[in-house]
A and B are shown apart, each in its own frame.
Chain A
């Protein structure tokens, strides 16, 4: 059992939790994820590690309510216990393998879409602690669903915020900001893009034209997260990869996004059905982008 030591509701559908998980906290690195089960009989929910404190034995997760499992977790309070919390899973970000000198010699750009801000944060923080200041673009549909702005500000070099509807920061999609920065004469050596698949796809399309190598973090449907079921398989450079053990981060230029999006959406009907059934009488929160 894993205690929820802090809960912070970031907006109507997104929530941050600090969870006591000593073994995981002692070993995790940016880029990895955990699998959570709220209670006996519940689904296994993969969530990216958003922060961690090895000394206190605490791992931070940020999640969005999109279905039955995440809704149940949203309703849990500080002091309550998650039934299962497995991790860290997946490979750490490649940045964690590089020497500080090599990192310092690079200009790195992070691109976070919506909830992707949360998984981008530990990577930017990791670099910041090594004395490397990376630029960060954060995009959200609208001002109200922007998360973790202050935290990000504290660790990022230049922080560029943009909203699709122009309600805050710059206006337009993250891809527009990348183009604008390049037009302003900026240049980067590496881009890390994390967000909805559709965003990552278009970021890669652009960065390929710009000759800017790009890493993406994939979040396909998973069951076990240990390489046992193959549900998370993706095509990366004509090879089949399991996101939970070979990833979740991959070279964005090699990922077959169209195939990946198709696979993710296919389960929507099947998995989403349960949720909609449960939700019929309640007010639908909207804004998560998961339901059509």
Chain B
């Protein structure tokens, strides 16, 4: 296999027309030959810029070097020292703005496919039964981790490696957070990838107790006072969905993206044998333009609907990853841009029959620097739809903050925590991930979990 040094080795994908009708993974990833070939494009920079773009600072040149040498096991151990979920990040990180965005190769040509290489190494390790190195010994101290999303799993994994006795408490019946209930199977396989990475964390000695809603089933103070935990990490995410508050939003057939995706992913409603039903619309409108909107749209498409993304700004402002928008278009999702819903119409039984929208145009830039969309008077029109999925973002759930005395939150209900070490206003309590930042990314949540693990270790050593 030969390539031009400025062009990345292309990755094989499932054909768009075929995958629009199934839930199997879209991207096949590299095989050994392709991975080694791509790895030779890396210049093994001394002062590697790519590492600065990675929130968990994976030693990228070192692991890629080992791929070059075809020593995949060593490559895996290098990645594992910085990341507990490489098979996940290799698939869902917005690499174009992180590691790959900084790669020196990107100046003249394509940046090195760091994400795809990371995924290859993690998949190879899993297929060959290689696990991350475990802790060297136990130190007898107990830490509770709330939430089993990427922030919680990372914090737990790191603390276990340092010898702590860690228990994760998860509200749902399955661990994984957004990785299991939000991001769909076709982008992130659950059994083969997510569960296996969770097993690796368990393999480090981390216990996971599901069905425990902190703040309801037991409080943080009780964990510390009655159950003997020396420190607590809160990684409870930002799961509270927003609605638009327009007329008709209570109609049947109007879902939050969280409900739609949870039914499909966590409850496996896309499989025929599942008990939990999902509405397979004929014509579905997804309101919003982020990753979550793309996932909801592509799920509805696979369930057999004609799907429209309705977004009030233009294509340039779409907050979703470029790759996701590209995949969505290939699969046949229709983009109704510069369009905003004003009312949802229902038939006499109360089910959605249409959505009244208004056309927008871009005006002056707003506080975020993006041009503000303004309504074009008199441009209202009605889209005929039988389901509407609202994907307008989420905010942190107040369950924990409202039941924990002395825990400071800001006006968006995000927990206030130190960026360096995750410390909150309450002694011994640390926090990170979406619960602190609001909805962000997997790798930022992991970075925060990592920082907090270090913070907790320092705190408990000094205590």
Contacts and interface: CB of A to CB of B under 8 A. Distances in A.
Contacts of A43: 267, 275-276
Given A228-B240, A271-B277, A223 B252 contact: no
A258 to B, nearest CB: 9
A230 B213 contact: no
- Highest count of chain A CB atoms <10 Å: which of B210, B217, B250, B397: B217
Contact of B241 (A41, A86, A228): A228
A121 interface: no
Contacts of A26: 218
Nearest to A264: B252
The dominant DSSP class at the A interface is mixed
B211 A85 contact: yes
A202 interface: no
A27 B173 contact: no
Interface in B149-181: 171-173, 181
Interface stretch (B99-107, B258-266, B441-449, B450-458): B258-266
B217 A266 contact: no
A230 B216 contact: no
Contacts of B94: none
Nearest to A85: B211
Nearest to A261: B350
B241 A229 contact: yes
B207 interface: no
A224 B274 contact: no
Contacts of A96: none
Contacts of A230: 241, 243, 255-256, 258-259
Contacts of B351: 266
B397 A84 contact: no
Interface in A263-291: 263, 265-267, 270-271, 273-274
Contact of A226 (B239, B267, B277, B350): B239
A69 B218 contact: no
A37 interface: yes
B217 A262 contact: no
B253 interface: yes
Interface residues on A, range: 35 or more
B326 to A, nearest CB: 29
A266 B349 contact: yes
B275 A42 contact: yes
Nearest to B256: A230
A266 B258 contact: no
Contacts of A37: 173
Nearest to A40: B173
B5 interface: no
B212 interface: yes
Given A223-B259, A270-B279, A245 B252 contact: no
A227 B171 CA distance: 11
A105 to B, nearest CB: 29
A229 B256 contact: yes
A87 B268 CA distance: 22
B350 A263 contact: yes
Nearest to A227: B397
A267 B212 CA distance: 28
B47 interface: no
A89 B173 contact: no
Contacts of A85: 211
- Highest count of chain A CB atoms <10 Å: which of B211, B250, B255: B211
A265 B349 CA distance: 9
Interface in A69-115: 69, 83-89
Interface in A232-251: 233, 235, 240, 245
Interface residues of B, number: 40
Nearest to A270: B277
A150 B275 CA distance: 36
A235 B250 CA distance: 8
Interface in B208-253: 210-213, 216-218, 239-241, 243, 245, 249-250, 252-253
A89 B275 contact: no
Contacts of A47: none
A106 to B, nearest CB: 27
Interface string A30-53: 000000010001111000000000
A23 interface: yes
A147 interface: no
B15 to A, nearest CB: 30
Interface in B266-304: 267-268, 273-277, 279
A134 interface: no
A120 interface: no
Contacts of A273: 277
A158 to B, nearest CB: 34
A84 B217 CA distance: 14
B345 to A, nearest CB: 14
A26 B218 CA distance: 9
Contact of A227 (B212, B240, B243, B349): B240
A221 to B, nearest CB: 10
A23 B222 CA distance: 11
- Highest count of chain B CB atoms <10 Å: which of A27, A229, A262: A229
A245 B218 contact: no
B173 A86 contact: yes
B258 A88 contact: no
B217 A87 contact: yes
B267 A228 contact: no
A227 B239 contact: yes
A17 to B, nearest CB: 17
Interface string A202-225: 000000000000000000000110
B262 A229 contact: yes
A44 B173 contact: yes
22 contacts: A41-B275, A85-B211, A86-B212, A86-B217, A87-B216, A89-B216, A223-B263, A223-B267, A224-B172, A226-B397, A228-B258, A228-B262, A229-B241, A229-B262, A230-B255, A231-B255, A231-B259, A240-B250, A262-B350, A266-B351, A270-B277, A273-B277
What are the 10 A-B residue pairs with the smallest beta carbon separation, nearest first?
A: A266-B252, A229-B259, A262-B350, A230-B256, A228-B239, A86-B211, A43-B275, A84-B173, A230-B241, A231-B259
Interface of B: 171-173, 181, 210-213, 216-218, 239-241, 243, 245, 249-250, 252-253, 255-256, 258-259, 262-263, 267-268, 273-277, 279, 349-351, 397-399
Given A23-B218, A224-B172, A270-B279, 14 more contacts: A27-B218, A44-B267, A86-B211, A87-B217, A88-B217, A226-B239, A227-B399, A229-B258, A231-B256, A245-B398, A262-B252, A263-B252, A263-B350, A266-B350
